[in-house]
Structure 1
Amino acid sequence: MKSMKSVVPHLSFCVFLLCGNCLAAPPSPEALDACMRGWADQNLFSGTVLAAQDGQVLLHNAYGMADYNAPIANTCDTRFRIGSLTKGFTALAVLQLEEQGRLRTSDRLATVMPDYPHADTITLDMLLNHRSGIVDHTTLPDFQTVRRTSPCALARTIETFQSLPLDFTPGTQFKYSNSNYILLGHIIESVTRKPYADVIQRQILEPLGMHGTGFEYYRRPIPNMALDHTLENGSIRRAQDRVMQNAHASGALYSTAHDLYLWDRAFRTGRLVKEKMRQKILSCDAEYRYGWATTEMFDRKILAHSGETEGFCSTIIRFVDDDACLIVLSNLEGCSMGRIIQSLSALLFDRPYQLPKKAPTGPQASADYGAYVGRYQIKPGFFIDVTTQDGQLYRQATGQSRLQLHPESKDTFFVTEADARITFEYGGEGQVARLVLHQGNRDFPGDRL
């Protein structure tokens, strides 16, 4: 189960190694497409990709299937759940209301929700920037058992967390919480006296001609919508269902790569908000401001956000000073979104990159694999279980899917679904004593229990 907590988690762990056979290619459509086919041809990506630089679209292609059972191929018009990318639209709507004089981001929550606990100490800015201390409602037990798969009114969602203690004193820390944007959705509706979806439609989608974007209502069919899938051990199947309407202003929108590019261009040109509001995002060095994470890639400042929900993942990257944009939408949960974004970015800026390793096609079964079986502790509460089945070797980390380990060399294995390798090491008695997880140019040792 996913809780749409993603900001840019993939990128911070994706540092690519230089190697002799990993030469950078120029940012041509052919090179970008070849990069993506390196992922799609191994069933490691399904979705649409748009890459643009200096106002020119370099690549806008679709890969994989919208429905693997039918089968129906993805096209550039296919619509995808974008999860937490919704937060950027919500934040923009709030800034528009501030421009209209209908609220101020410096207002206390008490001005619009006077009965909310701690309303006198929490500002709208704190909600927008995840500095309120309010508990993330998607971490509560009833979310997994009830609210993930059954419709839940916005007011009821707020009731699940409003009386809980704060995680910290408002304004003192950053902690990502979907509850912040649930409250912002309620505030937008209270101030405008219109449904959130109608406000987004009228203030953002219609002015920009974003006809492939909208709010996902429960059991309301959406034309050209991709179905949710998940990748596990090289096989693709349907993912768990989820009622996205419940995510509301924190994650209920769907879109296309083309529409999100229209949104990117509007942000750069100041079409939807005046320069003063645009600078509230651009001029701040905080790690998260108004629906965007601020970080760097290849020594370039970027605004970015990712979204993950059952069967879908999405990322948009804005290179602030280079007028470049990458949009990747996928209906394949488990795809290596961070590595894909890194590879495409490397092509844009003439840097080295790596394509995914191919799993061996011949027999891999080995009687020696039994020596690796066991539980390994990476840190308290986080384990990697190594098992065998039908002569193959598998690993399953805490809270993650089981993935097959493919032999790279003696005692070293890799997975095709992630930028990760595992090396097994021996103790004094000649028995496997620990493993080392190699990921993101870092090593994480774990003793065998």
Structure 2
Amino acid sequence: MYPIINRACIFTLIILFESTITFALDTDNFNSENLEKYIEFRADHGKYSGITTIYHGEEKVFESIHGVANRTWDVSVDLHTKFNLASVTKMFTATAIGILIQEGKIDPNVSFITYFEDFTKPEIAKNTTINELLSHTSGISDFFFQDDYLYSDRSRLRSLEDYDRFYSNLTVADVPDDRILYSNTNYVILGRIIEKVTGMTYYDYLRRNIFERAGMENTGFFEADLIIKNVATGYTIDFQASAEFGVPNDGALRSNQFMRAIKGMPAGGAYSTSRDLFLFMQALRNGDLITKEQFEKMTAMHRGGYGFGFQKYTQNGIEVIGHSGGFYGVSAMVFYLPEKDYTFISLANVDFGAQPVFDRFINNLAGLNSPEPINLDLEEFEKYEGFYEIESGIRAGKQVEIKSQEDRLLFDNALEFFPIGVRQFFDIDNDRFTITFHVDSSGEVIGFTRTDGRNFTQKATLIDASEVKILQPLTVSEEVLEQYLGNYQFTEDGMMPGHQPTITVENDGLMIDNMMYFLPFEKDKFFLEDDVGMQLHFKRNGSGVIEEIHVMQGDDLVGRVEKLD
């Protein structure tokens, strides 16, 4: 299962090749060279740092290691690096519940108050089953987005009991029959139920009944202030971290050390290695942790691409079972492909590092053509610069700017497109999306088409700079601005569900959460100072009273915020 090379040699290779090592064996349906080129390309552009390992049956057929585990000390990623798993941890929690179900200690169909009698809000516990927690169909809000959690001292969250104080502000939403409402709260509650039923801490129970039984010697919930060898630090530039954790929105790469709790818990934050995760997935399939029958029940798709602690869905005609994980500076994909007998594991300590690699792997297996970047002269990039207006498709009427930036095009100051032809470019984070530029008979650029080759298509026309719509802020009195203040909460059907933003008047505008400055440009409409496409539209009822806010990104409604009584 390991390549025939000892560990000392591996460390030598890592040093010699600047933290890059690839081990690959071709199989009938898998082009390892294509995948490695894509990983190298992403790593070279700061989009990937981590390890990707693929097994066919029990044989390792691919391994690629790139990047730095700790940038302060310039420590390279290696085979033994322990990565934060984020929500991949939920599979561990679900497996522990599965063990207790098959032992007859938990009935998944009863209300969880049966096991958690002192739950802070009994009206929720009486009306929610274990299965609803496992499948994210409870409708319980996610306290990770509540102010009492966001502004808490996360260095004190060392036991699951420390999280009990966040339950008092939970709400419950109706969940449509064909959907889930993903909430980390469900899994923190499940962890507490494990403790109530077993009389052990959640951490001890998982260590004895999962990690030790599966031979996972390098997996655990490591407290951040302990000395643990080979632990990767997460690094992020995600602007949303400013909204949640007060991180300066300055584009600087930062450690996630002060954004996460000091210790992981049942919803996320365990650490593991690629090798240990393969042992875990193998033990699940072999019936070594829970019975094969129980595994089949828990991985049966319940709704919304989710089973009972496991994601299950079909991508490009290929069935996958497992879990993804993501946080600021954390990205993980751990999936088994039952029809093809592949196990895919990708762990990264940068934003959105693993998902595109998984997508490329699935596209590869499905026989889809994968774009390969080429080199173009700088002047070739520069001729596509300018402002464009979308004529048809999503966000029709929106104006976007395209800039050249070294070896790529920057689309709307956000997406990075690299050349695969003289007039065609692909998105580095989602290679199904391409931009094809159109030229007139004299070769002058006149517009573009952006598409994913399936359901998404935008067509745009190049416009003169004089046609660009520039929003001008209005001068509004402080008295008028104060009418937009109040207590608000994000709803469950968009960004940051459950979060209660702080809104204050500052410098002729509105300051959100002490970091995002919005300026008025029409009655009840405000734009973000640094991004006019991000807007707040205040909505009034028939009596003219403000009752909610629509958070807009262009023409897209990305969040709704209700005004509380």
Q: TM-score, normalised on structure 2?
A: 0.63
Q: Is the 8 A contact 1:29 1:59 kept in 2?
A: no
Aligned match of 1:19: none
Aligned match of 2:284: 267
| Larger displacement relative to structure 2 (175-184 or 53-62) | 53-62
| Larger displacement relative to structure 2 (220-229 or 206-215) | 220-229
Give the aligned residue type for 1:196.
Y
Indicate yes or no: 2:129 matched with 1:129.
Answer: no
Aligned match of 2:345: 327
Please list, as runs of the form range in 1=range in 2, the aligned pairs for 1:154-173 lying within 5 A after superposition.
154-155=160-161, 157-168=163-174, 173=179
Indicate yes or no: 2:181 matched with 1:175.
Answer: yes
Give the aligned residue type for 2:430.
A
Q: Is the 8 A contact 2:154 2:262 kept in 1?
A: no
Give the aligned residue type for 1:188.
I
Deviations 1:413-434 (A, max 9, x none): 54434323346789xxxxx999
Equivalent of residue 291 in structure 1, options 303, 306, 309:
309
Q: Is the 8 A contact 1:39 1:45 kept in 2?
A: yes
Aligned match of 1:305: 323
Aligned match of 2:111: 108
Aligned match of 2:401: 386
Aligned match of 1:54: 57
Aligned match of 1:366: 382
Q: Is the 8 A contact 1:360 1:406 kept in 2?
A: no
Counterpart-to-counterpart distance in 2, 1:148 and 1:315:
29
Note the C-alpha offset of 1:195.
Answer: 1.9
Indicate yes or no: 2:112 matched with 1:97.
Answer: no
Indicate yes or no: 2:44 matched with 1:27.
Answer: no
| Larger displacement relative to structure 2 (145-154 or 325-334) | 145-154
User: Aligned with 2:216: secondary structure?
Assistant: coil
Distance 1:293 1:72, change over 3 A: same
Identity level (%): 23
Gaps of 5+ in 1: 1-24, 427-431
Q: Is the 8 A contact 1:88 1:290 kept in 2?
A: no
Max Rg structure: 2
Aligned match of 2:215: 209
Equivalent of residue 454 in structure 2, options 429, 441, 447:
441
Distance 1:107 1:378, change over 3 A: same
Counterpart-to-counterpart distance in 2, 1:94 and 1:333:
30
Indicate yes or no: 2:164 matched with 1:146.
Answer: no
Aligned match of 1:88: 91
Aligned match of 1:342: 359
Distance 1:165 1:360, change over 3 A: same
Distance 1:46 1:136, change over 3 A: same
Answer 1 or 2: higher relative contact order, Cα 8 Å, separation at least 6: 1
User: Aligned with 2:266: secondary structure?
Assistant: helix
User: Aligned with 2:323: secondary structure?
Assistant: strand
Counterpart-to-counterpart distance in 2, 1:292 and 1:136:
18
Please list, as runs of the form range in 1=range in 2, the aligned pairs for 1:233-244 lying within 5 A after superposition.
237-241=253-257, 242-244=259-261
Note the C-alpha offset of 1:366.
Answer: 3.3
Distance 1:312 1:29, change over 3 A: farther
Equivalent of residue 416 in structure 1, options 428, 433, 443:
428
CA-based RMSD of the aligned residues comes to 4.0
Give the aligned residue type for 1:263.
F
Distance 1:166 1:94, change over 3 A: same
Give the aligned residue type for 1:202.
R
Task: Count residues with an aligned counterpart.
Answer: 411
Distance 1:160 1:327, change over 3 A: same
User: Aligned with 1:160: secondary structure?
Assistant: helix
Give the aligned residue type for 1:39.
I
Deviations 1:21-78 (A, max 9, x none): xxxx952799425522432244243211221123222123422222345432221111
Distance 1:186 1:73, change over 3 A: same
Counterpart-to-counterpart distance in 2, 1:408 and 1:324:
29
Equivalent of residue 317 in structure 1, options 335, 343, 358:
335
| Larger displacement relative to structure 2 (90-99 or 67-76) | 67-76
Counterpart-to-counterpart distance in 1, 2:399 and 2:213:
50
User: Aligned with 1:288: secondary structure?
Assistant: coil
